[in-house]
Every structure is written in C-alpha cells, then in structure tokens.
Structure 1
C-alpha cells in the first residue's frame, strides 16, 4: 500500500481534529486529472473525501461543504485545486 502524501496526511489530520469523524477516507485523485486545469506534475491537487461525523447533524449539504472547505482553506491556498466531498452523519 502506498504511503500517504504530506497533503493527504495534513487533510486527514485537519478533518479529524475539526469533525472527529467515525469514518474518513482521503484519496489523492490527481493522476486522473493530469493535464487538466489546476493539475500539478507531483499530484496532490485533486482529492476525494468521504467523511461521516456527528458534527454534521442538523447542517444542510451546503453548510457541510462550506465547513469542510473552511477547515482546508490553507491547503487550497498552497495548491489544493479540487475536492470531491461525500459527507454524512452516522444516521
């Protein structure tokens, strides 16, 4: 199994600290976007995230997306280009 990149580890750590998820999957999907806008030769630009957390209870899908994006703002500022977020509560 490949080692997670620095960005992958940072994303995982930031989301864990912010939302205490029951489930969290962070996948670097940059290779599928090679040659597209925002893609970098070294990857770490496009990610798929699956997260399940009680912290999302009572929030709309848009509110959850905004909360996740806000937690990861520094990553966007330093080269993260795109994020696919699948977020839900344990219920």
Structure 2
C-alpha cells in the first residue's frame, strides 16, 4: 500500500477537503435495545463463543500503584495491600 497525502494526490489537486468522500457526514443508526444485556445486534457466532479469560498475575496486581486509580468509585479490596 502506498500512502499519499490527499491534497497531493493527482485526482484531488485543488479539490476542497470538504467535498472528499472521507469527510462526508456519517449517519449513525441507533438500534433499539430491549434490555441492558440485549445482544441481538451481534452475530450469533460471536455471542456463542466460549469465554476464555487470561488469568491475571496476582503479584503484579498487588504491586500496582493504587494512586493511579484515585477518584475511581471502586477499588477491589482483594488486591489492595496496606503496608
């Protein structure tokens, strides 16, 4: 893939960026949700996959600087180690 600046591309020399296809307004469609956990807009193949979580290293989690989470409404007391 060759990357070229739009303004220097031969087809767009002198064109206003306002009229380029990349700059057109996007009309988003907001789907209706039946309930908070409604997944009807997702493919069944995606929603039926088995969940495979990566285990976290508890020592790493316990050594995180908890000051980075200052202002959050919840801190997991299981991982907070008071010294």
**Shorter-chain TM-score category?**
under 0.3
TM-score by length of 2: 0.18
TM-score for the superposition, normalised by structure 1: 0.17
Question: Whose Rg is larger?
Answer: 2
- Report 1 or 2 for greater relative contact order, CA contacts < 8 Å, sequence distance ≥ 6: 1
Looking at secondary structure, tell me which structure has more helix per residue.
Answer: 1
